[in-house]
Structure 1
């Protein structure tokens, strides 16, 4: 072996040694990084450190006002909207308008007694540009030349039946003939088709969120700790049912707190409670995702003070990842409702989800 060959062999050996040392150093660095990530505690999901728990209001507003999905109403549409009662939603109700030829006196020609056979139907009347009257305001002293007959297209009973639609059409025709008026359907004249479509939407979003807290080790919660937990201003007892109310508005109900059997809880020093059910009526809860955060906050406080564990309806333990996925689902439900111009927890939502 000459000097050149020996030099090349030595150089190759040195390169191999350097590569081995470099790879070993990189491996040790990777192991330290992995160990650090493994031993560090997982962050708690909340409004501050999880991007999924940020306010959805801005995105929802963008969805509603997007020119491709929600075009600006025409001039005639704006006029119609401006002249309707505020609690009418043409996206979710069939609306018949009757304009009479002469001023009508009293309620005889609107046949209010027939409403007993028409589930959910509401009648409004007014004279010229006066305020619309309905309900108890429809008496023998009323004077009017405009009539609105309003029928919600769906409810938790399902889509409107052919019989219900036939009764509605007969009622509208009866009024129109009695007042010798001009009949025009302002919204959803094809009642059966629109009712079926809206009912499909209702079924897709009409869910109840049920979470449970059960004792971690004992057979029941300790009565003293239980009484202390329920002694909070945000937990109110209405008609024997405990409810979590919104932190800023006590008139907003976020969820009910029930026994495992779904019955009201009896909280006293002798209580034997084996679990607490937190039930949210999703479409009838205002500001769904914000309310969900308050519900989860109370549940975490419950698990801490009562030494409990959070489980789903099937008694499977729930972690923060599960909570995050539930939040994402609720955000989608909220956006679907707002896109339909149905505000969660509103009177219009209550008409559909009741």
Structure 2
């Protein structure tokens, strides 16, 4: 290699390095400008195409693993000290007497306007923010409808012009918004969000922003995907459905009329699907009762109608105060068994003894401790969203 070729090679490397450095500086400056265009609200501690469904094996025994990540607090910022002005005294000069001037009143200091935090759940959501001088809700109609086809739950929230209260964005309303936040849920019972789903939402809203001259900022998709995988793994570990069965002894059968009477007497309500539900004050089921045979329950049951058995089911992560509810379901199952002359068994048709029930209860306690530690208490709004 000649000396000229060596110098040309060195020059080429230097040019490439300069281009890379220039691009990095430009990207860093653009990010700062984009972030500065938004007033970033503080995180709400209660709320942060083709999906391959998670494999389900029906009712599973709880498998416990350690949490994948923890939340970190933000550092406190020091208060800015007020500058002090030192003025040197000027020499006194004899002047004719004059009327004293009115004292100067400094203008009031400008007060920074703090907007309320947007409804965004950092733990389970990916976020896109849009801002403008006041855009009509109808401008988001196409994006709003298309976002419903991305395979994960999407929430739209808007801050109307001249107000300090976020509301659910409805594109058919005659409302102008100064800020809009769109979030996608990172996991549910179908699994974690895919990269294509997050990218599709970001690109969809970028196109909308460009069309209407809005500012737009998408959260980092790589970090969001890590959170999606972590939450999904956690959900798999605690997503447990417990079933207790009241079965006939031997070759006999249980009387369905008595079963239905006991269910109604226990405060259960028959749903349109033929399944009895015990409903809490929120309208959410605590546990259910279904016919072990294929035929669903009906409002009218003949006295002689029988079945091989019935099943009580308890959706562990969706029920608040789960241990108390489980105890109530066990007591009701035992009452049913005594009433129809049956036996209380597990899914493998093994009789449930006191020690067996206590073992299940101990596993439940461990699951609920894990859910509390992760910030997803059983039966909470966050749990109902993840385990929908």
Q: TM-score, normalised by structure 1?
A: 0.69
Match of 2:200 in 1: 167
Give 1:1-354 correspondences, 5 Å limit. 83-85=117-119, 88-100=120-132, 102-109=133-140, 111-119=143-151, 120-127=153-160, 129-134=163-168, 137-184=170-217, 190-217=223-250, 219-223=252-256, 225-239=258-272, 240-246=274-280, 249=281, 251-261=283-293, 264-266=296-298, 267-354=301-388
Q: 1:278 to 1:187 in 2, by over 3 A?
A: farther
CA distance in 1, matches of 2:71, 2:191: 27
Give the drift of 1:338.
2.3
Equivalent pairs, count:
278
3-state secondary structure, aligned to 1:107 = helix
3-state secondary structure, aligned to 1:117 = coil
Q: 1:302 to 1:144 in 2, by over 3 A?
A: same
Match of 1:22 in 2: none
User: Is the Cα contact below 8 Å between 2:255 and 2:304 reproduced in 1?
Assistant: no
Q: 1:94 to 1:216 in 2, by over 3 A?
A: same
Q: 1:108 to 1:70 in 2, by over 3 A?
A: closer
User: Is the Cα contact below 8 Å between 1:241 and 1:264 reproduced in 2?
Assistant: yes
CA distance in 1, matches of 2:269, 2:249: 26
CA distance in 1, matches of 2:71, 2:200: 33
User: Is the Cα contact below 8 Å between 2:248 and 2:343 reproduced in 1?
Assistant: yes
Residues 308-328 of structure 1: CA deviation (Å, up to 9, x unaligned): 211111111111111111111
User: Is the Cα contact below 8 Å between 1:215 and 1:309 reproduced in 2?
Assistant: yes
User: Is the Cα contact below 8 Å between 1:90 and 1:188 reproduced in 2?
Assistant: no
Residues 207-244 of structure 1: CA deviation (Å, up to 9, x unaligned): 21111111235511135533442341422212232112
* Unmatched segments (≥5 aa) in structure 1: 1-68
Match of 1:38 in 2: none
Give the drift of 1:93.
1.1
User: Is the Cα contact below 8 Å between 1:236 and 1:243 reproduced in 2?
Assistant: yes
Residues 130-162 of structure 1: CA deviation (Å, up to 9, x unaligned): 322325x33241111111111110111111123
User: Is the Cα contact below 8 Å between 1:210 and 1:279 reproduced in 2?
Assistant: yes
Give the drift of 1:75.
6.5
Give the drift of 1:74.
5.9
CA distance in 2, matches of 1:219, 1:155: 42
CA distance in 2, matches of 1:162, 1:70: 23
User: Is the Cα contact below 8 Å between 2:287 and 2:329 reproduced in 1?
Assistant: yes
CA distance in 2, matches of 1:80, 1:279: 48
User: Is the Cα contact below 8 Å between 1:244 and 1:295 reproduced in 2?
Assistant: no
3-state secondary structure, aligned to 1:166 = helix
Match of 1:29 in 2: none
User: Is the Cα contact below 8 Å between 1:96 and 1:187 reproduced in 2?
Assistant: no
CA distance in 1, matches of 2:233, 2:150: 22
User: Is the Cα contact below 8 Å between 1:252 and 1:286 reproduced in 2?
Assistant: no
Q: 1:91 to 1:199 in 2, by over 3 A?
A: same
CA distance in 1, matches of 2:195, 2:317: 27
